[in-house]
Structure 1
Amino acid sequence: MRQDIARNYEEAKKQYASHGIDVDQALAELSDIKISIHCWQGDDVRGFLFRDQELSGGISVTGEYPGAASTPEELRADLTKAMSMIPGTHKVNLHAIYADTDESVDLDQLEPRHFQKWVDWAKEQGIGLDFNPTCFSHDKSKDGFTLSHPDPEIRQFWIDHCKASRRIGAYFGEQLGQTCVTNIWVPDGYKDVPVDRMAPRQRLKDALDEIFAEELNPAWNLDAVESKLFGIGSEAYVVGSHEFYMGYGMRNNKLICLDAGHFHPTEGIAGKLSSLALFTDGILLHVSRPMRWDSDHVVIMDDELLEIGRELVRNHLLPTTHIGLDFFDGSINRIAAWVIGTRNTIKALLRAKLEPTEKLKQAELDGDYTTRLALMEEFKSYPFGAVWDYYCEKMGVPVREEWLAEVKRYEQDVLLKR
């Protein structure tokens, strides 16, 4: 341990302890939190099954920064490098199109064996895996509909794909000893105002009922459903709206996924957490950064991220909340994007843990809003950075921006040679 880091940490501990905050305990709790790192940042959501397929479903990645992974081996190497600069032991989130196989296989025929190399790698890394069916960028989704498609044959294709995905997720959980969250998101919707809003939603409900009919061990697989306000090609109407999935999830005991970019551009998700928590057994978060729309920018430590962290900590929601990332930026080094976004998410949780939550709650209960505001503002300048530096040093990852030099070396030695 570097002396300057240890000295700064001890001084910071004293300041926090004056308000009853046990910093050592906060760091111990932080080390148990797993962030699900999304694989699709590493290759601009191309995957390996249909690499020549044009992106669809409202998904767009801009930028041509060199070094995007083009093989499963490259992507796993990049993820390994990124995780070496992120404190803690986490998870990796896969989409179905990232199957690692030499077979020519369509989405509805995928099996656990097509992901065995990912499982073997995860075992080596000591991490868990999460999963998602890929209901976009496919010939059968070109018209913008999948699970709510009016054609029963096309709809059945997507139902079968989601069934297969759940079995793959359960296999991940069984093999790795860490519960896999399998999340369903579909891009279904209309560009212009529809006449019939009910029928597509009825078809989606029926499709989901069929998908979830097979009972799987919840210790291995948990199901989640994800809403969206609008997207490219579905500006006027999205079948899987927030209201639809909130109702479906509550009635059917499924995790409801809140994606930070899937609501109105000025609407945050932090305030929704306490409401959902009262009526559900768990929540799935997709932490992203919308800019103007669901543009999936790299997560920064902005007000919304800090509020998400505070809501999770203040309301003791971390044990029942699954936190994943969902952004993709092809204009910067993709490994740096992972590191920045994941470290910021962890930082936000740590900052929340270093607030005098109980003292703030009591001041609020007493109607002492002056104390509440004063303390909330003063704690913004408390020595959080010294605690973060100590945590990184203790966990064996680079301190502050030291990780950037390692990323630059990897870029020169590996990425630019692809």
Structure 2
Amino acid sequence: MSSVSVRRAVCAGAVGALVVAALGSGVASADGSDPNDGLEIQAPYEQAVVAAPEGGGTAPYRSMALGLQHYNSDYTVTDGRLTVDVSGLTGVAEVQWPADCVPDDAGTVAVCDTGDVPVRYTPQVQLKLRAAPGAAVGAQGTVEYSATATGGPDGTLSVPEYSTETFVTVGSGPDLGVSAPQDVSGVAPGTDLTVPFDITNTGNEVAHGFSVKLWATYGLDVATRYPECTYSGPDDTGSQYPSMTYVTCSFDTEVAPGATVQLPAPLRLAVTRHALNERFDYEVEPAGDVTDLDTSDNGRSWHITADNTADFAVHGTEVSGAAGDTVAAGFRFVNRGPAWVADVASGDPVPAIDYYLPPGTTATSVPRTCRTAAPAAGDPSVPHYVCTLPTWTSPDLKVDFPFRLRVDQVVPDATGRVTVRPYDGSPAFAFDPRVRNNSAKVVVNPSA
């Protein structure tokens, strides 16, 4: 199996995953493991190089990050070999091979050793490219890739030739970028953090001002307020991003080629009492209608994990009914906080709730966020539903699941059970300090 990576990271797309709830769709075996794996080449879809100076001289080299990853952590994948073919750059760009790549005699095809292949991508190969002498602005060429590695369900994973490529274009203009931050964890609620926000122009033209966009998830507050910015919070009516703070700014600071500038004052975030797994996304662009030469480093995501808890609980009910009656026999989910909870990486729900019906009953009305699932282990006669919650679970959230059940047969103390568990299949919620209230009973016709 193989797949081509998404080459341009767009902060708003990742943030949007928190706005729209998503359900998983993987195919797993009976024991919960996934029998599939795939090797992916991580390479930019587009790469810009700066034209050589007019009147002579050579263009500066620009780095291009490459690598491999696979997607199934059940397998260990090693001996990654990434083949890079730059023959399509003739007359457009020149390449400088790193030490972990072995080129052929012509210097146009190299096999690069990426070593062990991770599940979460990190760059493994750093190529350097520069415009060829005499290459005009607008000239374009291609880099093509293939790859192999050892591991996976069949012992070997591969990506065939010509399935992944990078379009390299000779350009001229500003190229603004921000450096990648180091994620932090164990942060105490109430802490203030300073965002590492240096802006560098690696292009060959001045950026006459720049715009900035910021997204802070619900447990973070943007403490620094600039007059050049507009702010909308998660509690604002009609907010574009209802689970976060969204900020847009316009600064008139000029950024010369090779220069690094900062914002007018350090950008500080407040870690609130509701913080848990947080994410701060930021993005910079040249002002006006100017196109940035390379957008791959314009936006960054900073993951911040707070030392906090969220107490998930479910509450059942007791009802009575004669044979043939339909009774309200639902349950309630509560997040007692103090933290909100969201999967800020995937946008998937965090909790799932299993509801096994009481004996002798049939569901006649099911909440729209619930679906039928596999019967109870060891007793296929017990109907089972799985319910999900919104993508984010705010503090003090209370959600009722109003099941209606038909009493087919009167069974004294007919007891169903409700359990909240991690949606992603993890054994427990690491943030939940009380597990006893993660389960409850729904009883039909309790004994007096």
Give the TM-score band, short-chain normalised: under 0.3
Choose between structure 1 and 2: higher helix proportion: 1
- Compare relative contact order (CA 8 Å, sep 6+) and give the higher one, 1 or 2: 1
TM-score (norm 1): 0.23
TM-score (norm. length: structure 2): 0.22
Task: Select the structure of larger CA radius of gyration.
Answer: 2
